[in-house]
């Protein structure tokens, strides 16, 4: 036994370590002898004979039972008679309860020749199909529009509100007239100012930008006018002059 504090060897019966003075725990007293190795580790404990004898007796009984089982098994196998060809009649003798099938010979009969059967020809009556008279196809008369292309464009520009919309783009300094000539919607602006006067230069530049925006906005309207009237050459012409009749803007929207 070693001291739990300084690992110094302890003699049997000591209660205090002689090396460090540490009180030693009490060691329980076992009936069985304990053997330690040189490192003082437990190796084994003797098992009492009163436990060994029952275990040994049980093992011997099991071994004896196994030996008896194999002896009986081998003895049973040795009593079986070996198979000798010709000595087993059970395989060749049919039991009395089973009747052998009666063998019959098929009877041979002469084939019977049937007399030929004559079928009378069947006469199919002729089928007559009555002629089918189709009703006459009537084509509705094609109506032609008596209006000219210019009249179509003029009527569409008036009913669609295009003419009124163009006229509303004028102000107190200009007058606007709208006419339709040869399928062309002409929007004429007359500005009450002198184009050659340098004092009005910025004003006329603003008007030019304004007329460009107007033509861009009316481009879709011209496309719809062509689609609805069927006149493919319908266009818009925007022209502007000053008070002296000098033209300073002209653009065709097609």
One DSSP character per residue, 139-201 reads PPPPPPP-S-HHHHHHHHHHHTTHHHHHHTT--TTEEEEEEEETTEEEEEEEESS-TT-GGGH
Verify that 54 and 42 share a domain, yes or no. Answer: no
Compute the distance between CA of residue 202 and CA of residue 211 in angstroms, rounded to an integer. Answer: 14
Verify that 166 and 211 share a domain, yes or no. Answer: yes
Q: Which of 28, 57, 77 is the last residue of a domain?
A: 77
The per-residue pLDDT for 116 is: 63
Residue 86 lies in a domain: no
Residue pair 150/180 in contact (Cβ under 8 Å)? The answer is yes
Would you say residue 98 has pLDDT above 70?
no
Verify that 153 and 62 share a domain, yes or no. Answer: no
Q: Is 224 helix (H, G, I), strand (E, B) or coil?
A: helix
Verify that 194 and 219 share a domain, yes or no. Answer: yes
The per-residue pLDDT for 2 is: 81
Verify that 10 and 64 share a domain, yes or no. Answer: no
Residue 143 lies in a domain: no
The per-residue pLDDT for 51 is: 72
Residue 83 lies in a domain: no
Residue 221 lies in a domain: yes
Verify that 66 and 40 share a domain, yes or no. Answer: no
- Give mean pLDDT, residues 110-125: 61
Query: What tokens were used for 8?
Result: 């110094």
Verify that 153 and 72 share a domain, yes or no. Answer: no
Compute the distance between CA of residue 174 and CA of residue 189 in angstroms, rounded to an integer. Answer: 6
Query: Could you tell me the CATH number of the domain that includes residue 195?
Result: 3.30.300
Verify that 28 and 71 share a domain, yes or no. Answer: no
Residue 59 lies in a domain: yes
Q: What is the CA radius of gyration of the chain?
A: 68
Domain span at residue 7 reads: 1-46
Residue 245 lies in a domain: yes
The per-residue pLDDT for 24 is: 78
The overall average pLDDT reported for the chain is: 78
Number of domains comprising the chain: 3
Query: What tokens were used for 69?
Result: 């089982």
The per-residue pLDDT for 99 is: 54
Verify that 60 and 32 share a domain, yes or no. Answer: no
Global pTM? 0.44
Verify that 62 and 29 share a domain, yes or no. Answer: no
* DSSP 8-state assignment for residue 225: H
Would you say residue 89 has pLDDT above 70?
no
The per-residue pLDDT for 233 is: 92
Would you say residue 212 has pLDDT above 90?
yes
Residue pair 157/225 in contact (Cβ under 8 Å)? The answer is yes
Verify that 169 and 238 share a domain, yes or no. Answer: yes
Would you say residue 92 has pLDDT above 50?
no
Q: What share of the chain in percent tops pLDDT 70?
A: 67
Query: What tokens were used for 217?
Result: 């906005």
Residue 189 lies in a domain: yes
Residue 113 lies in a domain: no
Would you say residue 26 has pLDDT above 90?
no
Residue pair 10/19 in contact (Cβ under 8 Å)? The answer is no
Compute the distance between CA of residue 67 and CA of residue 74 in angstroms, rounded to an integer. Answer: 11
Verify that 24 and 54 share a domain, yes or no. Answer: no
- Write phi, then psi, for 172 (nearest 5 degrees): -70, -15
- Give mean pLDDT, residues 8-31: 76
- CA–CA–CA angle 59, 64, 68 (5° rounding): 150
């Amino acid at each position: 036994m070693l001291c739990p504090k300084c690992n110094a060897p302890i003699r049997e019966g000591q209660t205090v370590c002689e090396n460090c003075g540490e009180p030693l725990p009490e060691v329980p007293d076992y009936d069985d002898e304990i053997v330690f190795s040189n490192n003082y580790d437990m190796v084994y404990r003797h098992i009492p004979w009163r436990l060994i004898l029952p275990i040994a007796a049980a093992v011997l009984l099991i071994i004896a039972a196994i030996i008896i089982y194999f002896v009986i098994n081998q003895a049973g196998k040795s009593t079986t008679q070996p198979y000798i060809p010709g000595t087993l009649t059970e395989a060749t003798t049919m039991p009395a309860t089973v009747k052998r099938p009666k063998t019959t010979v098929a009877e041979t009969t002469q084939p019977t020749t049937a007399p030929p059967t004559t079928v009378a020809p069947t006469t199919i009556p002729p089928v007559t199909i009555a002629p089918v008279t189709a009703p006459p196809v009537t084509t509705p008369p094609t109506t032609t529009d008596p209006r000219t292309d210019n009249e179509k464009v003029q009527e569409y520009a008036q009913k669609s509100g295009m003419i009124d919309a163009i006229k509303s783009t004028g102000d107190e300094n200009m007058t606007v007239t709208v006419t339709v000539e040869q399928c062309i919607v002409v929007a004429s602006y007359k500005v009450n100012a002198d184009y050659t006067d340098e004092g009005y230069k910025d004003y006329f530049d603003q008007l030019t930008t304004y007329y460009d925006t107007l033509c861009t906005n009316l481009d879709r309207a011209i496309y719809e006018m062509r689609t609805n009237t069927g006149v493919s050459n319908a266009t818009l012409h925007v022209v502007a002059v000053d008070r002296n009749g000098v033209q300073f803007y002209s653009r065709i929207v097609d």
